[in-house]
Amino acid sequence: MDLKIAGKTALITGSTAGIGFAIAKTLAENGARVIVNGRTQASVDQAIAKLSERVPSNLLQGCAADLSSAAGVEKLLGAHSDVDILINNLGIFGIVPFAEISDAEWMRFFEVNVMSGVRLSRHYLPLMLKKNWGRIIFISSESGICPPGDMVHYGMTKTAQLSVSRGLAEVAAGTGVTVNSVLPGPTKTEGAANFFASMAKDQGITIEEMERKFFAEGRPTSLIKRFVSPEEVASMVAYISSPLSAGTTGAALHVDGGVIRSIV
């Protein structure tokens, strides 16, 4: 299918690995010019080198900037002042008992997971409205609807992203700009794989046994009974980034393998 995004410029935050990297690869494979973002120049260079094995290097640009702060966002905007597609993918997570989450940690999660997207959208949305075309997508999570008890601060930020996304869609009402959220379920990123490998080692079981245990006990409502792949999330994001998705805005789109028990 021709997604009709050739020639469009897309910024994907936190795109040196995991879901962000898969999104960058999929968009570039469809002809979009992609801006790869990471905190360090080394991670950005490594990601671009890996992507260049699959897509033309002239479609790839890099920007090393830590978007957890306003200064980092300003650095990125100074280098890339205008884009057609903004994918707010940057995010952190961590399992911490609620009583042990400090004020500083609450604020750190909010700055990284929510304010990075708010600051970028505040800059790019008015420009998209002037052009009467643009796409803003927030990579939220099934945790935004079903907040986990062992990551309350993370769940809070993912719920906040849903609210910001829907609100911005209202701001863009009646225009050619759409704003949506994508809600992945448990996804087999590098970080998740390492995390489960560590848990398996601690419990003296194999990674495969750890995964089966997780879906039996931690996510029993999953209909696919496995992790979602980053590429499966990227496929949804690519469609929502395209002109083909013009009738979809203000939506929270699930790529969760059926974890969320809902008919809407």
Mapped to the 3 state alphabet, what secondary structure does the chain carry?
Answer: CCCCCCCCEEEECCCCCHHHHHHHHHHHHCCCEEEEEECCHHHHHHHHHHHCCCCCHHHEEEEECCCCCHHHHHHHHHHCCCCCEEEECCCCCCCCCHHHCCHHHHHHHHHHHHHHHHHHHHHHHHHHHHHCCEEEEEECCHHHCCCCCCCHHHHHHHHHHHHHHHHHHHHCCCCCEEEEEEEECCECCHHHHHHHHHHHHHHCCCHHHHHHHHHHHHCCCCCCCCCECHHHHHHHHHHHHCHHHCCCCCCEEEECCCCCCCCC
User: Which amino acids are annotated catalytic?
Assistant: 154
